[in-house]
């Protein structure tokens, strides 16, 4: 019994010792594998809440142009303008011949002056007649009293009836004069009123003619660009004929046929992203969905407004753009950095970092979201994917996490620093530009490239590169796309009169290898 217990204990002890040795051996193997693995950088698979998108093609619709039309039927002469020229508000576009209107204006002004003179004369006559009427009214008052007194005397037989009748006759004569003066005043005032109407009519006609003369100089009402012009530099135009059409920089919209099934998601979205054919990205917002449905495509015409200034690449009527239209409600999506994606025949793969081992994993991708991309299948949240150093990796290769150093080049002040901060790259060559033909030998044979150097900008195979000069050397980096990934070429060259010799370092090769080769350059 004791022997059996001792034997069991010995077995347990041996198993524990063997397991421990095996554990330490495996740890050592993994550690050794990690120590000798290529250096890579990783990023996690993340979750984000976002709707799915469909890319729908749309077009830019320019706002209604401003029309400049002939203000009268007359000869028109264009200024020295062409289609496409930019104009400011108030710039003269054309002038019309207004000689006939000027002649009419002079006639009406003469008629107005004559009318006013006649009104002044009649006004003076009115004043004269009013003075005479005052005298007649005073005489009438005296004769009226005399007639009344004569009637009383005649009743008392103080005077004869004939004398009383004579006094009444004299009173009636003055009354007749008063009526005649009032009639004359009425006629004069009526004439003045008629002439005042004529004066007002002439003033209105003169104002209209003056405005027509001013409008005969056709000016641009807005700042914009001329998109059409009168067919002749100098010719006859009828009133209302189109002389010029001007398009402003405002009023641009995007028009697209929106599938009916996406209507609720578009209405709930505050803004959507769009891309031009040149790759520029910008934001749009829904303005209106027109209440008319295309039965064949089950879509409705939709207008979207720009959220910011319209970029130059789409500021054209009919410019084609792609709109990312939400096709579902918000849902949880998996996203990774686009740098982690490696294109292969028939799809895409990523390399998952798993305890020092790079595991190749096929993935199914969705839409791009800025620098990230949606993964619809193949990964789980929290996994680490390799974003740098994944070029040319093999499935199961040993890797280790770390910073991948960039080549150090001298800056303009002479110190060496890593080129990590993006710099604007000039593109316009200076007059002192010189062209060089560079050659170097690789395992694939002789390679060549064209380099143009100048004091302002430099081009490598017609693409701008950022060049640093220090201690007589010329430094610049560029990229080369190979089947297994993107390789960085780092040049360090010494310029002379007719030569530009030096070295080039190829980095980003499989397993983190770097190759240095000699470069010869000759002036073209």
**pLDDT at residue 50 in the model:** 63
Task: Name residues whose C-beta falls within 8 Å of residue 38's C-beta, 6 or more positions apart in sequence.
Answer: 389, 393, 397, 398, 399, 400, 511, 512
Say which residues have a Cβ less than 8 Å from residue 356's Cβ, sequence separation at least 6: 30, 33, 34, 37, 398, 399, 400
CA atoms within 13 A on the CB side of 483: 1
pLDDT score recorded for residue 23: 44
In order of start, what are the domains of the chain with their CATH numbers?
53-63+250-327 (2.40.30.170), 70-95+217-247 (2.40.50.100), 99-215 (1.10.287), 408-523 (2.40.128)
- SS3 (DSSP) at 30: helix
214, with CB counted inside 10 A (0-12, 13-18, 19+), is exposed
pLDDT number for residue 187: 92
Decide: 472 and 465 in contact? Cβ < 8 Å.
Answer: no
Which pLDDT score, from 0 to 100, does residue 1 have? 43
Distance from C-alpha of 141 to C-alpha of 162, rounded to nearest angstrom: 21
Q: What is the distance between the alpha carbons of residues 386 and 88, in angstroms, rounded to a whole number?
A: 55
Q: Are 94 and 286 in contact (CB under 8 A)?
A: no
The predicted pLDDT at position 378 comes to: 84
User: Do the beta carbons of residue 85 and residue 423 sit within 8 Å?
Assistant: no
Residue 295 C-alpha from the chain's centroid: 33
Q: Can you tell me which residue has the tokens 């028109």?
A: 76
Tokens (6 digits) for 208: 């209209």
Does the pTM surpass 0.75? The reply is no
Q: How far apart are CA 208 and CA 488, in angstroms?
A: 75
Q: DSSP letters of 35-98?
A: HHSEEEEEEE-EEEEE--EEEEEEEEEPPPPEEEE-SSSEEEEE-S--TT-EE-TT-EEEEE--
Residue 122: its pLDDT value, please?
A: 92
pLDDT (tens, 9 = 90+) of the chain, 524 residues, equals: 444 444 455 454 444 444 444 444 444 444 444 445 678 888 898 887 666 678 888 999 887 888 999 888 888 888 888 888 888 998 998 988 889 889 999 999 999 999 999 999 999 999 998 998 899 889 889 988 888 888 888 888 888 888 888 888 988 998 898 898 899 999 999 999 999 999 999 999 999 999 988 888 888 888 888 888 888 888 888 888 888 988 887 788 999 999 998 888 888 888 888 888 888 888 999 999 999 888 898 999 999 998 888 888 888 888 899 998 887 766 677 888 888 888 877 678 889 998 888 888 888 887 777 678 888 888 888 898 898 887 777 888 888 877 765 555 555 444 444 444 444 677 788 888 889 899 988 877 788 899 998 888 889 988 888 888 777 888 888 887 665 556 788 899 998 888 889 998 887 666 556 788 899 999 88
Look at residue 113 in the predicted model and tell me its pLDDT: 94
Q: Which residue has the tokens 């360090």?
A: 492
Instruction: Please say whether the dihedral angle defined by the alpha carbons of residues 26, 27, 33 and 37, taken in this order, is positive or negative.
Output: positive
Q: So what's the pLDDT on residue 192?
A: 92
CA distance 228 to 247: 9
Dihedral sign of CA atoms 392, 417, 516, 503 in order: positive
Main-chain dihedrals φ then ψ at residue 36, nearest 5 degrees: -95, 5
Q: Which of 473, 450, 454 is nearest to 463 (CA)?
A: 450
Q: Which two structure tokens, joined as six digits, stand for 123?
A: 């006004």
What's the confidence (pLDDT) of residue 42? 87
Secondary structure E strands in 176-319: 217-219, 224-229, 234-237, 242-247, 253-259, 272-276, 281-294, 299-306
The whole-angstrom separation of Cα 191 and Cα 349 is 102
Query: What contacts 48, CB < 8 A, 6 or more positions away?
Result: 332, 333, 335, 369
């Amino acid at each position: 019994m004791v022997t059996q217990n001792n034997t069991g204990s010995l077995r347990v002890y041996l198993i524990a010792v063997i397991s421990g040795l095996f554990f330490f051996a495996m740890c050592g193997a993994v550690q050794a594998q990690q120590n000798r693995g290529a250096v890579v950088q990783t990023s996690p698979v993340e979750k984000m809440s976002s709707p799915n998108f469909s890319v729908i093609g749309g077009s830019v619709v320019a706002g209604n142009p401003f029309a400049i039309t002939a203000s009268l039927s007359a000869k028109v002469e264009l200024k020295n303008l062409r289609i496409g020229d930019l104009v400011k508000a108030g710039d003269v576009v054309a002038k019309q011949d207004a000689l006939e209107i000027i002649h009419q204006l002079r006639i009406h002004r003469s008629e107005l002056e004559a009318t006013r003179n006649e009104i002044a004369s009649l006004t003076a006559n009115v004043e004269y007649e009013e003075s005479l009427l005052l005298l007649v009214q005073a005489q009438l008052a005296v004769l009226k009293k005399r007639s009344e007194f004569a009637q009383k005397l005649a009743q008392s037989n103080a005077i004869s009836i004939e004398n009383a009748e004579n006094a009444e006759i004299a009173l009636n004569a003055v009354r007749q004069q008063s009526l005649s003066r009032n009639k004359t005043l009425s006629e004069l005032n009526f004439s003045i009123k008629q002439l005042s109407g004529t004066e007002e009519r002439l003033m209105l006609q003169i104002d209209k003619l003056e405005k027509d003369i001013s409008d005969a100089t056709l000016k641009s009402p807005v700042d914009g660009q001329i998109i059409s012009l009168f067919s002749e530099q100098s010719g006859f135009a009828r009133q209302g004929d189109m002389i010029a059409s001007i398009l402003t920089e405002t009023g641009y919209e995007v028009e697209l046929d929106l599938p009916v099934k996406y209507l609720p998601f578009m209405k709930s979205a505050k803004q959507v992203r769009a891309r031009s054919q040149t790759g520029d990205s910008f934001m749009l917002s829904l303005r209106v969905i027109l209440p008319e449905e295309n039965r064949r495509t089950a879509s409705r015409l939709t207008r979207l407004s720009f959220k910011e200034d319209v970029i130059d690449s789409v500021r054209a009527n009919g410019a084609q753009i792609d709109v990312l239209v939400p096709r579902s409600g918000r849902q949880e999506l998996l996203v990774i950095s686009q740098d982690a994606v490696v294109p292969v025949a028939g799809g895409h793969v990523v390399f998952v970092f798993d305890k020092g081992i790079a595991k190749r994993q096929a993935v199914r991708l969705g839409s791009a979201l800025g620098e990230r991309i949606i993964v619809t299948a193949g990964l789980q949240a929290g996994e680490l994917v390799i974003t740098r150093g994944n070029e040319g990796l093999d499935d199961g290769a040993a890797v280790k996490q770390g910073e991948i150093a960039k080549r150090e080049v001298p800056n303009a002040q002479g110190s060496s620093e890593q080129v990590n901060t993006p710099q604007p790259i000039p593109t316009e060559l200076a007059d002192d530009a010189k062209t060089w033909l560079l050659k170097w030998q690789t395992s694939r044979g002789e390679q060549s490239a064209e380099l143009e150097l100048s004091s302002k900008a430099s081009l490598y195979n017609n693409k701008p590169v950022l060049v640093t000069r220090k201690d007589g050397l010329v430094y610049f980096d560029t990229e080369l796309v190979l089947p297994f990934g993107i390789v960085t070429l780092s040049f360090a060259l010494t310029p002379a009169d007719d030569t530009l010799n030096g070295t080039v370092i190829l980095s980003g090769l499989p397993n983190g290898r770097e190759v240095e080769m000699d470069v010869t350059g000759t002036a073209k």
